[in-house]
Structure 1
Amino acid sequence: MLNRTDLRGSRRDPRGLMPRAQLDVSVAVEQIRPVVEAVHEHGFSAIQDATRRFDGVELSRLRVSADAIAAAADALDPDVRAALLEVIARARKVHADQRRTDVTTQVVPGGTVTERWVPVGRVGLYVPGGLAVYPSTVVMNVVPAQAAGVESLVVASPPQADNDGLPDARVLAACALLGVDEVYAVGGAQAVAMLGYGSDGADAADRCEPVDVITGPGNIWVTAAKRLLRGVVGIDAEAGPTEIAVLADDTADPRHVAADLISQAEHDPLAASVLVTPSETLVAAVEEELARQVPATKHEARVREALTGVQSGVVLVDDLEQGLRVVDAYAAEHLEIQTRGARELALRVRNAGAIFVGPWAPVSLGDYAAGSNHVLPTGGCARHSSGLSVQSFLRGIHVVEYDEAALRDAAPHVVALANAEDLPAHGQAVTARFTP
């Protein structure tokens, strides 16, 4: 079922040789640009038009009523409620420890620089609702923003034709459990544009004010709209289809490996499931497990398409040292390590959105109840980007305080560099304070 890439004996850079989804966001940007520009220019009417075209819903209002949010919470399945409350508690525990504290550095006597960590004022949190619905993503977006101290949180999620044009009831219930009461039944690129530019609504109470930062995963149209809005607002990342890479040796249980590859393939036909191993015996056993497990899974067609796509496959390596270089080059959103000495290997990984160590830490745990965040960089972006965290909602602001003596001491250095850069007025702004 899985494509094979044999890197044994190769000394080439593996980045261009690894299975990878072929997504051209730049093409999607041009296709979605008219929608974004229409929302910018026409607001509510453009959102209604896009919602009618893409979601098949006639949107009479943007904002979900408080009564509808409360009703969704009241109707929530008790087991799902208990699970969400536990996930919220675990996520809050982890994210509370991420909050940075202000630091004051005495540079010289009389001269200090304080770095203050200040939350952004208003955040738009996007929760997708296409092939699957994600109340867990509400938690992953809202909890770090709340831990950062963001005062105004907005959730946007696609309207569902089978829920009277409201977002999925479980998404609304998760908002209620987290204390979020500003929710909009808008999805796709039009939601990103609404959050970034703001929009009028059916009346004054239905208006959506613009946000400072937009976070949350979505499909390629959401990603393209985020790229268009970058610079207008802050963007967490251009998240693409989900990825899992499993670095495994002959100690790995093939049932676990197969189940974990399937779990991510279930998300999307474009999802990537990659096994990196030096063991052909393991590959054969995993193939047997896939042949047994895939037909038994609910979303068999979707899983099979993802597993057989160009973005998925087996990568054979000489040994775990080469395997480590390969997974570092791949920079997976989710990386599982199921090997001897898994923790030691995990601590040597430089590029991954999140790392899951050993047989008892599957990616599914991180998707829901590990306490970690599941909004993570994809498409190799883990080489330079981090997953969503409290820091995503904070800005560092330097506060500079110097007294007269400290400035006098620094003056010759300021003047010398200002003259070297042919910016003499910079130096004069300092010397003017010490001349009559």
Structure 2
Amino acid sequence: MSIPGESPILRTIDWRGRALSLAELRRELPRVASASTHDAESSVRSILDQVRSAGLPALRSFAERFDGVAQEQPKVPQAALDRALAELDPEIRRALEESIARARTVALAQRPEDVPVQLAPGANVTLRWEPVRRVGLYVPGGLAVYPSSVIMNVVPALAAGVGSIALASPPQKEFGGLPHPSILAAAQLLGVSEVYAIGGAQAIGAFAYGIPASAGFAGLEPVDLVTGPGNIYVATAKRLVKGVVGIDAEAGPTEIAILADASAPADYVAADLISQAEHDPFAASVLVTDSAELADAVQAELAAQMGWTKHRERVARALAGEQSAVVLVDTVQQGIDVVDAYAAEHLEVMTENAAAVAARVRSAGAIFVGPTAPVSLGDYCAGSNHVLPTSGTAAFASGLGVHTFLRAIQVIDYDRAALAAVAEHIVVLAGAEDLPAHGDAVSVRFADRGATP
């Protein structure tokens, strides 16, 4: 659709009258052009290799090269954390404290109980949840500052019972080579004192391989899990160290999909599309609607609201990109099929009976129901986590949560009688798989009785 006399802000994909298969939907949906991880991989691999082999000198070199900072050592002094919190704007502090309180309430409720199962007297299997020993949390710098990402990473880790937390964020030349003060203040609010001024792929390498101690630097102990978003270099580094350490995900550019019908307020829809587009020129903003009239009204609102939004150049690039569009469909049900295939990081549902419609969606990182639940609510104060799967991975992956920082350990406790009750089955199955020693490992326990029961 187009607005008479104006060029539309978003391109339009018209699927009315078409029945598309899931494969066709996934192929034709608006997506950011795949950033070439291959192009980034060689330079990231080199960075990781240098961090692993050279340690602190490599970090110093990268801080000067990428951040313009001459760095003796990357550990942020406790005095700097104290000062950042003391000098934090009181309004920002209150907002962070409210965000922390709500996120903590939700996170604590997510902590699963151990699951003991008795299959027979003396035959017990327990699923025991154990926190990861040590985690490295990455908080990006770049076009925006993200103290909220400190909250979203640290709060579920603490709720899971993680005992050792290290946080890294890029050094900022304008702040004396330290991360942004609001990031330091958020860390201090949460009791995280092990903070490093390290950015990019080198931070991921430092977490994965550790940095040996040297004169004036106590060293950085390797972690078991790395979480947190970042640019293509951070995402590539996480992929390359996966297996050495665990990772939460390889995050891509942020995205919003809005499923809306004629009842949706056009100004709300436009404001929410713009709010996501201001993150990054590659951010995706997608409207799926069965109302051509709403689509036209949203285009007009976009044109008007872009006139006063602060980051209009960045927003304009994101909305004009191939990853952003209006998708016209025949019905709300067809719209559900489209957003399920898209599997958005953030999905807003602004339709009549929005809660019922949202309940029919099966693939999204987070679903925001109705006109008074914008994505911004989830970014800061909903109590939910804003570190979510991108690039369609919500079809099989979950957002960051307490579960991210837990491992399920199966504890098997059988007494002699309980083992005897299944011994014959084990021997039979071991023989069927041509693994007779497996059966012998059971039979030997009954050798003093002359034969396997």
TM-score range, shorter chain: over 0.9
- Cα distance, 1:206 vs. partner? 3.4
User: What is the aligned counterpart of 1:69 among 81, 88, 93?
Assistant: 81
AA paired with 2:227? T
Amino acid at match of 1:16: R
2:298 to 256, 261, 286: 286
CA contact 1:61–1:201 (8 Å) conserved in 2: no
Matches within 5 A, 1:186-225: 186-200=198-212, 203=215, 205-225=217-237
Distance 2:424 2:170 in 1: 60
1:374 paired residue number: 386
Q: 1:20 aligns with which of 31, 34, 45?
A: 31
Secondary structure at the residue paired with 1:323? helix
Determine if contact 1:63/1:184 at 8 Å carries over to the other structure. yes
- 1 CA distance for matches of 2:26 and 2:417? 55
Structure 2 residue 93 is the aligned partner of structure 1 residue 81: yes
Q: Any stretches of 5+ residues in structure 1 without a counterpart?
A: none
Q: Distance in 2 between matches of 1:118 and 1:220?
A: 31
Does the aligned pair in 2 maintain the 1:328–1:352 contact within 8 Å?
yes
Cα shift at 1:2: 0.4
How far did 1:201 drift?
5.4
More displaced 10-residue stretch of structure 1: 74-83 or 102-111: 102-111
Partner SS, residue 306 of structure 2: helix
Count residues in correspondence: 436
Displacement after TM superposition at 1:200 (Å): 2.8
CA distance in 2, matches of 1:421, 1:30: 44
Cα offsets for 1:357-386 (capped at 9, x unmatched): 000000000000000000000000000100
Q: Does 1:359 align with 2:371?
A: yes
Deviation at 1:172, TM superposition (A): 0.1
Q: C-alpha deviations, 1:215-244, integer Å up to 9, x for none?
A: 000011100000001000010000111000
Residue 52 of structure 1: CA displacement? 1.6
Partner amino acid for 1:7? Answer: W
The answer for the alignment partner of 1:30 in structure 2 is 42
Q: Does 1:121 align with 2:129?
A: no
Measured after TM superposition, the shift of residue 27 of structure 1 is: 3.0
Aligned partner of 2:18: which letter? S
Q: How much is the aligned-residue C-alpha RMSD, in angstroms?
A: 0.9
Counterpart of 2:62?
Answer: 50
Output the CA distance in 2 between the equivalents of 1:57 and 1:201: 21
- The 2-side partners of 1:232 and 1:281 are apart by 53
Shift of 1:327: 0.1
Q: Which amino acid aligns with 1:111?
A: A
User: In the alignment, is residue 133 of structure 1 matched against residue 133 of structure 2?
Assistant: no
1:225-304 residue pairs with structure 2 within 5 A?
Answer: 225-304=237-316
Instruction: Label 1:182 to 1:107 Cα distance change in 2 as closer, same or farther (>3 A).
Output: same
When normalised by structure 2's length, the TM-score is 0.95
Residues 47 and 202 of structure 2 are in contact (CA less than 8 Å); yes or no, is this contact kept in structure 1?
yes
TM-score (norm 1): 0.99
Corresponding residue number in structure 2 for 1:427: 439
**What secondary structure is seen at the aligned counterpart in 2 of 1:96?**
helix
1:410 is matched with 422
Map Cα deviations across residues 304-335 of structure 1 (whole Å, 9 max, x no partner): 00000011111111110000000000000000
Q: Give the aligned residue type for 2:82.
A: A
Opposite residue 57 of structure 1, the aligned amino acid is V
Q: Which residue of 2 aligns with 1:7?
A: 15
Check conservation: 1:61, 1:206, Cα contact below 8 A. Answer: no
**What do the CA deviations read for 1:122-169 (whole angstroms, capped 9, x no partner)?**
000000011001000000000000000000011100000100000000
In structure 1, C-alpha distance between the alignment counterparts of 2:155 and 2:414, rounded to whole Å: 38
Question: Can you list the C-alpha shifts for 1:6-38, whole angstroms capped at 9, x where unaligned?
Answer: 111222231111110112323322331101111
Aligned partner of 1:170 in structure 2 is 182
2:6 aligns with none
CA contact (8 A) 2:255 2:345 kept: yes
Q: Secondary structure at the match of 1:227?
A: helix
Task: Report the alpha carbon displacement of residue 337 of structure 1 after superposing the two structures with TM.
Answer: 0.3
2:436 maps to a residue whose letter is P
CA distance in 1, matches of 2:169, 2:43: 21
Check the 8 A contact 2:73/2:217 in 1, yes or no. no
TM-fit CA distance, 1:400: 0.5
Percent identity of paired positions between Structure 1 and Structure 2? 58
- 1:313 equivalent in alignment to 2:325: yes
Over residues 27-66 of structure 1, what are the superposed CA-to-partner deviations in whole Å (9 max), with x where a residue is unaligned?
A: 3223311011111111111111122221121121110000
Deviations 1:365-418 (A, max 9, x none): 000000000000000000010000000000000110111111011111111111
Contact persistence 2:73–2:216 (CA under 8 A): no
- Name the SS of the counterpart of 1:366 in structure 2: helix
Amino acid at match of 2:343: A
SS at match of 1:377: coil
Q: Give 1:140-159 correspondences, 5 Å limit.
A: 140-159=152-171
1:356 positional shift: 0.2
Shift of 1:204: 5.9
Q: Which amino acid aligns with 1:71?
A: R
Secondary structure at the aligned position of 2:407 is classed as strand
Residue type matched to 1:366 in 2? G
Question: Secondary structure of the residue that 1:395 maps to in structure 2?
Answer: strand
Letter in 2 for 1:18: L
In structure 1, the partner of 2:397 is 385
Range 22-31 or range 4-13, more displaced: 22-31
User: Helix, strand or coil: the match of 1:422?
Assistant: coil
Gaps of 5+ in 2: 1-8, 449-453
Say which SS state the counterpart of residue 333 (structure 1) adopts: strand
